[in-house]
Structure 1
Amino acid sequence: MIGWLDDPSEQRGVRFRQDDGAWQRLTYRELAARTLRAGAALADEGVRPGDVVPLVLPAGPDFVSQFFGLLAIGATPSVLPLPQALRAGEGYQNQLRAIAARIRPKLAVADPRYQDVVRESVAELGTATRVVAPVHADREDAAPRANGELAVLQFTSGSRGAPRGLRISVANMAANLRMIQSWMNPQGHGAVTWLPLYHDMGLVGGLLGGLTVQVEHALMRPEQFIRDSTGWLAEYGRHPYTSMCMPNFGFERVLARTRPEHLDGLDFAALRAVVSGAERIDPAVLARFVALLQPHGFDIHALMPAYGLAEGTLAVTGVGRQQVPRLVRASGLERRLGEKLDVGSVVELGAEPVSEPWLWQVSCGRPMDGVRVDILDEEGAPQPEGVLGEIYVEGPSVAEGYVDATPEDRAKLGDGKLHTGDAGFLLDGELYVVGRLGDSVKINGQTVFVEDIELELVASGAISRNHATVVAGVTAGTPTVLVVTERPLGERLDEALSVIKSFTGDAASARVMYVKRGAIPLTSSRKPRRRALWLSYAAGELKERKDS
């Protein structure tokens, strides 16, 4: 991970987007010097090998120097969300307190804009944590180099419950980076990444995957991407960056903000690896993205949908280079774990969106080198291809385990083995991810996935994914599917209820709740926290607005 510090390139470097839209470029030699100066300063501050140091820093040169400076002296960085990621306020401080209570750090490094809120959050814990701004000594040759055991203490985004601390060892990280680099094959130019660095996809896939092999790379902050999604895309059209990585909502954002005339004069022929992951992949969105870029040199073979999660360090499976992703049409209405799916058509993804996208599953490719993926039934028995079940992962990049692990945690994750809690199936050696088992609901013995229902609601225009989400569970013994929306559905209300009934029949209750803006809890990666939302509804804490 830190080998680049010993032989940094003077020719290649990293560009950092500034607030005024300009770019600051530092060569790898300049970054390495800053990093070693940071390591020396952190050691002067009392950081020792094995210490865990939280970082509350935006994407930029200081993040790179502090993160790798800690690794260079044998300490462990833990990258925490920024205040705007969780709408700040008391909820953000509560999360900081919960994380700090598990780490109990002696030192934390925070951007000056966030130091006060970090200090207030940890003050009552009695840990005497000192909060400092990014530090750099006036020398680089006195950094006490050491090899640590942990590459990062990674906190999950919260989409699978409360954020959990994951022990990602140096061996875990090195194994996953080798897998990613072998799979994506970055050469010369890497990516223009905007993904948050406190999330596994942003840290490992967005930053480390390119920086550790010293490709020409670029970093933006998430809010910069939100403000100027078209400008972000244009960087790929003006420069030969080869890689792109983001969740489904990122592609939706680009499509919503970019018109064909915005791309006049741009060339996307250099793009060779466009990775979509982190949430259920919508084939209609990918098709529209291909249609937008194809007139400007984009090759559909660059699409590489993938599956990964923080507990796997990041990448688990991915569609290979120069392979067009496959789509499988599988019944969305009769799904039982451990039973063979009714698989109909198998086609290649194209620029024309498929009809009924909720019935189509996008291939997430084959397992990475050295990774084993099985599908298990409810009894934990491996299943043949075409059978729906829980995705099980085994390999050298599976995290060591959770901080303060319970016996249930250790049964889920340990010894390089991971029960993901995600449902999917294998076909011709490729993985298809259906949804989260914890967010689904059983109706007459069949598993109904909220991801299927949400895809149809979005495709029909009944809801917007930016302002609504679907949750499910059991209340008073009755299976219930609930659409929670921050915008009134108006005349689309009956249509939304009809869509739900097409999945559940009369054996479940269908509801739509109109709530105030901000009532849908989000993870640090901006995904809905479905489980928390359902529990709030079931406890009677979710309040409905009456002004629709």
Structure 2
Amino acid sequence: MSQGNAVDHEHVIGWLDDPSERRGVRFRQDDGTWQRLTYRELAAQTLRAGAALADEGVRPGDVVPLVLPAGPDFVSQFFGLLAIGATPSVLPLPQALRAGEGYQNQLRAIAARIRPKLAVADPRYQDVVRESVAELGTATRVVAPVHADREDAAPRANGELAVLQFTSGSRGAPRGLRISVANMAANLRMIQSWMGLESHGAVTWLPLYHDMGLVGGLLGGLTVQVEHALMRPEQFIRDSTGWLAEYGRHPYTSMCMPNFGFERVLARTRPEHLDGLDFAGLRAVVSGAERIDPAVLARFVALLQPHGFDIHALMPAYGLAEGTLAVTGVGRQQVPRLVRASGLERRLGEKLDVGSVVELGAEPVSEPWLWQVSCGRPMDGVRVDILDEEGAPQPEGVLGEIYVEGPSVAEGYVDATPEDRAKLGDGKLHTGDAGFLLDGELYVVGRLGDSVKINGQTVFVEDIELELVASGAISRNHATVVAGITAGTPTVLVVTERPLGERLDEALSVIRSFTGDAASARVMYVKRGAIPLTSSRKPRRRALWLSYAAGELKERKDS
């Protein structure tokens, strides 16, 4: 093994060999109490897990799916596999995909790519996992989390991959990404340096089968042995205010979640809930994984500012699974900037009409859909360019595809096609996301594949959806916006699981303010559950559009 590889492995799993007796990880229990294990205790459990997994026949290089909720068993099985040179692949839990046939189909698709000998699943999920993989003929054995009665017998080995990470499926079927130990170590170093992790980390609730939850939520803190805490997503949903209160009672310094997490906290938390709490210790509040709404961040600041929160702690970021996680981020002690750019002037490869640049404050900006939130500068060692439709780099202020190079760009996809290899490989990534650079900072506009061209201009569904939500016409929890071409006509479609009633005309007017008369605008009221979701609860816009275009999306007639 090269010296570089040894250093990378040390950064990812070195804590097992020198675990702290003083610091540890707290795990939220169902009754609201917390179980705390020191890193010494977690390391012992992990090495016992590694020994037991080896006894079950797991060998270096084997890929082992994990279907486990956040908890001590997840930590011990994940790092137990890494300790013996095997590769964990963290899969969604049934509730993440509304269970049922859709969940089983996704498990089958993933298992067909991995063809594992062994899978580790929580006892509650073993039956559905067994049923899902049985017909593949892989003879996969599904076991509960395993721990031997000895820790010194774990056959230590250094594997090539840190995780086989499956994308959430927002652009179609989940794709398996080969995240090497070198990729993971590089991204963890970037994140830890950027966020300034020292003694305390986060109270993370993000799902661990998602890159933001696994890398940013868990591994970023655990691998440097900061005081950390884990909740399950459903615990956060039930008690968002209780989650926030943990930061007001304990000196945790960082939090990381997408826009909808902030919205959930704001919907459930009233100012009086925060009496007696102190948020002055928060130094890194990261927002990412989806379009960042400046109005939501402003409301979050206004809620916490009377209790010591400093706006300089806000650190919007951009990242994606193909980059392991983090690509860019607003630096510490910098107030995020907002740029107002006209949505009707967005032609790829042409300079944007930037009206004004301001700093984010506690007062929401008017017309938030016209403002882009800075996602900061590239992480150390990362290069970001903006490309036009011909693949040529563009100057600042020009809209185009976000292109990334760096040591944390994933090795590639499992079973990669030539098209896949053109998109991702050799440390280079064509993201499929649109954005622009200004003063060295990245502003992310939306997904190119979810946009539609109207009279040569690119209209992003994220812009339309943001204005519809801001106007109150739709709720993100029950509706989404898709777009494409039908019978040669550009079409923008709002799909809603709740009837819009008197807001219907307003919704259509908002769409036409982006498209003019050159596109068809439509609203479809569908049954609950008709909007397909990714494992990270984002709408699968492309699958929804294809269902509509094929005539398979059925409209409800009742209101």
Return the TM-score normalized by structure 2. 0.98
In structure 1, C-alpha distance between the alignment counterparts of 2:308 and 2:544, rounded to whole Å: 43
Who is 1:332 aligned against?
A: 343
Per-residue CA deviation, residues 149-202 of structure 1 (Å, 9 max, x unaligned), is 000000000112211000000000000000000100111110000000000000
Who is 2:180 aligned against?
A: 169
In structure 2, C-alpha distance between the alignment counterparts of 1:188 and 1:396, rounded to whole Å: 27
The reply to whether residue 142 of structure 1 matches residue 153 of structure 2 is yes
Deviation at 1:351, TM superposition (A): 0.2
In structure 2, C-alpha distance between the alignment counterparts of 1:125 and 1:462, rounded to whole Å: 46
Please list every run of 5 or more consecutive structure 1 residues that lacks an aligned counterpart in the other structure. none
Per-residue CA deviation, residues 127-170 of structure 1 (Å, 9 max, x unaligned), is 11000000000000010000000000000001122110000000
Structural mapping, 1:367-516, within 5 Å: 367-516=378-527
In structure 1, C-alpha distance between the alignment counterparts of 2:172 and 2:23, rounded to whole Å: 40
Per-residue CA deviation, residues 73-117 of structure 1 (Å, 9 max, x unaligned), is 000000000000000001100100110000000000000000000
User: For 2:145, what is the secondary structure of its paired residue?
Assistant: coil
The reply to whether residue 151 of structure 1 matches residue 195 of structure 2 is no
Who is 2:219 aligned against?
A: 208
Deviation at 1:315, TM superposition (A): 0.1
In structure 1, C-alpha distance between the alignment counterparts of 2:447 and 2:276, rounded to whole Å: 42
Deviation at 1:334, TM superposition (A): 1.6
Per-residue CA deviation, residues 354-410 of structure 1 (Å, 9 max, x unaligned), is 000010000000000000000000000000000000000000000000000000000
Does the 8 Å contact 2:42/2:76 carry over to 1? yes
Q: How many residues align?
A: 548
In structure 2, C-alpha distance between the alignment counterparts of 1:282 and 1:162, rounded to whole Å: 27
In structure 1, C-alpha distance between the alignment counterparts of 2:529 and 2:105, rounded to whole Å: 17
Per-residue CA deviation, residues 15-39 of structure 1 (Å, 9 max, x unaligned), is 0000111000000000000000000
Who is 1:310 aligned against?
A: 321
In structure 2, C-alpha distance between the alignment counterparts of 1:252 and 1:28, rounded to whole Å: 33
User: For 1:448, what is the secondary structure of its paired residue?
Assistant: strand
Does the 8 Å contact 2:495/2:523 carry over to 1? yes
In structure 2, C-alpha distance between the alignment counterparts of 1:251 and 1:393, rounded to whole Å: 28
Does the 8 Å contact 2:262/2:300 carry over to 1? yes
Please list every run of 5 or more consecutive structure 2 residues that lacks an aligned counterpart in the other structure. 1-11
CA RMSD of aligned residues (A): 0.4
In structure 2, C-alpha distance between the alignment counterparts of 1:238 and 1:541, rounded to whole Å: 51
In structure 2, C-alpha distance between the alignment counterparts of 1:162 and 1:281, rounded to whole Å: 25
In structure 2, C-alpha distance between the alignment counterparts of 1:529 and 1:42, rounded to whole Å: 35
Deviation at 1:333, TM superposition (A): 1.1
User: For 1:85, what is the secondary structure of its paired residue?
Assistant: helix
Among all aligned residue pairs of Structure 1 and Structure 2, give the percentage whose two residues are the same amino acid.
98
In structure 2, C-alpha distance between the alignment counterparts of 1:437 and 1:178, rounded to whole Å: 30
In structure 2, C-alpha distance between the alignment counterparts of 1:135 and 1:6, rounded to whole Å: 20
In structure 1, C-alpha distance between the alignment counterparts of 2:495 and 2:132, rounded to whole Å: 31
User: For 1:43, what is the secondary structure of its paired residue?
Assistant: helix
User: For 1:506, what is the secondary structure of its paired residue?
Assistant: coil
Per-residue CA deviation, residues 301-350 of structure 1 (Å, 9 max, x unaligned), is 00000000000000000000000000000011121000000001100000
In structure 1, C-alpha distance between the alignment counterparts of 2:208 and 2:381, rounded to whole Å: 26
In structure 2, C-alpha distance between the alignment counterparts of 1:242 and 1:6, rounded to whole Å: 26
In structure 1, C-alpha distance between the alignment counterparts of 2:247 and 2:174, rounded to whole Å: 34
Per-residue CA deviation, residues 475-527 of structure 1 (Å, 9 max, x unaligned), is 00000000001111110000000000000000000000011111100000000
In structure 1, C-alpha distance between the alignment counterparts of 2:497 and 2:532, rounded to whole Å: 12
Per-residue CA deviation, residues 408-434 of structure 1 (Å, 9 max, x unaligned), is 000000000000000000000000000
Structural mapping, 1:92-241, within 5 Å: 92-241=103-252
Who is 1:537 aligned against?
A: 548
Moved over 3 A (4+): none
In structure 2, C-alpha distance between the alignment counterparts of 1:299 and 1:506, rounded to whole Å: 45
Q: Which shifted more, 119-128 or 306-315?
A: 119-128
In structure 2, C-alpha distance between the alignment counterparts of 1:465 and 1:519, rounded to whole Å: 14
In structure 2, C-alpha distance between the alignment counterparts of 1:109 and 1:51, rounded to whole Å: 13
Per-residue CA deviation, residues 236-285 of structure 1 (Å, 9 max, x unaligned), is 00101000000000000000000000000100000000000000000000
Does the 8 Å contact 2:322/2:410 carry over to 1? yes
Does the 8 Å contact 2:171/2:543 carry over to 1? no
Structural mapping, 1:49-68, within 5 Å: 49-68=60-79
In structure 1, C-alpha distance between the alignment counterparts of 2:446 and 2:497, rounded to whole Å: 23
The reply to whether residue 9 of structure 1 matches residue 20 of structure 2 is yes
In structure 2, C-alpha distance between the alignment counterparts of 1:386 and 1:419, rounded to whole Å: 19
In structure 1, C-alpha distance between the alignment counterparts of 2:162 and 2:119, rounded to whole Å: 17
